[in-house]
Amino acid sequence: MAGLLKTEAVVLRSMRYGEADRILHVYTPHRGRVSAIAKGVRRARSRFGGRLEPFFRLRIELHEGRGELLTVTGAQTVDGHARLRADARALDAAARACDAVGRLFETSEPHPGVFNLLCRKLALLDEAPARATRASALAFRLKLLVAAGLAPQLGACAACGEGEHLVGFSGAAGGVVCSACEAGAFPLGEPAHEFMSLALGAPLSEAPQAEERVLGQVERAVAETLEHHAHVRLMPATSRSPPRAPLGENQPQALPQSAV
Ligand SMILES: [Zn+2]
């Protein structure tokens, strides 16, 4: 079905291709993740300028031929997130957010809620790059779980329905579990349980805070849920050490191998 697709999109990844082209992964509200080629974009006089870079929110025009790869024919900036780009931690957080969306929602299935969530995440990082914390990264991931239909069960034991003595988390069961059902689960303390409930109930801008030990449990709960039910492994929610220099804006995929 050849034609022109006009849509909003966030650039998730941008990879050099050939002499002057780029292959982009963009996330759209109604077509999910789309791969497109931008021809001649690396030439100095390209009409696209620098706006086909990761984390740009665009109004984009794509020509759709028979192949899977669409061709970029036009692009206007909705938001370039300039402040985010000037901050190494915010850039790193944006790269991880885009990577998570690209991996979890890699098909053309429409998820406008995911598009809005990603736009919100990038806007918040741009507004205040200091928001690039592990807690806010995990709040974002928890909301992605919900969008993927994998909301962790937090109100009662995910295995037997018991409402008390919830001591662990089981990715296989898909939520917290009680002391009788904890085989195959890992210990999840009350603060981590509370963090997850608060993060899921609050807007992204009001993500709760918690200490590292608690966040470690939350991250494991998210990771095990994804591994069991989506067969997806995400990179850690934040880098282990502060990045020394901004990650290349052109290559958010160039994260350290250990982070993949
Ligand atoms: Zn139970």
Tell me: pLDDT of 210 over 60: yes
Q: How far is CA 200 from CA 115, 136, 154, 193, 246, in A?
A: 17, 11, 10, 11, 30
Q: Ligand 1 centroid vs 226 CA: distance in angstroms?
A: 21
70 C-alpha to ligand 1 centroid (Å): 49
Start-to-end CA distance of the chain, whole Å, equals 36
| Mean pLDDT of the residues in the chain | 91
pLDDT at 249 over 60: no
Calculate how far, in angstroms, residue 157's C-alpha sits from the geometric centre of ligand 1: 5
Ligand 1 centroid vs 148 CA: distance in angstroms?
24
Ligand 1 centroid distance, CA of 121 (Å): 35
Three-state DSSP at 125 gives helix
C-alpha to C-alpha distance for 87 and 249, rounded to whole angstroms: 11
Q: What is the pLDDT of residues 122-137, one digit of tens each?
A: 999 999 999 999 999 9
pLDDT band at 93 (very low <50, low <70, confident <90, very high): very high
Q: In this structure, what token pair is assigned to residue 9?
A: 């999109």
- Which band of pLDDT confidence, cut at 50, 70 and 90, is reported for residue 203? very high
The pLDDT confidence band at residue 241, using thresholds 50, 70 and 90, is: low
- pLDDT, tens digit (0-9, with 9 covering 90-100), for 1-15: 569 999 999 999 999
Whole-angstrom distance, CA of residue 164 vs CA of residue 143 = 25
Mean pLDDT of 96-119: 97
pLDDT at 2: 65
The pLDDT score that the predictor gives to residue 251 is 43
CA of 112 to the centre of ligand 1 (A): 35
Are the beta carbons of 157 and 177 closer than 8 angstroms? Answer: yes
Whether the pTM exceeds 0.85: the reply is yes
What is residue 20's three-state secondary structure? coil
Amino acid at 90: A
| 17 or 68, which is more confident | 17
- CA 201 to ligand 1 centroid distance, Å: 24
In this structure, of 62-71, 97-106, 185-194, the range with the lowest mean pLDDT score is 62-71
The rounded Å distance from CA 171 to ligand 1 centre is: 14
Q: What angle is formed at CA 172 by the lines to CA 171 and CA 176, rounded to 5 degrees?
A: 55
Predicted confidence at residue 13, as pLDDT, reads 96
**pLDDT value of position 227:** 96
Question: How far is the centre of ligand 1, averaged over its atoms, from the C-alpha of 217 (Å)?
Answer: 19
Task: Give distance in angstroms: CA of 166 to centre of ligand 1.
Answer: 8
Enumerate residues with CB within 5 Å of ligand 1 (an ion): 157, 159-160, 162, 178, 181
Separation of CA 154 and ligand 1 centre (Å) = 12
Q: Output the CA 222–ligand 1 centroid distance in Å.
A: 19
Q: CA-CA distance, 19 to 22, in Å (whole number)?
A: 9
Ligand 1: centre distance to CA 191 (Å)? 19
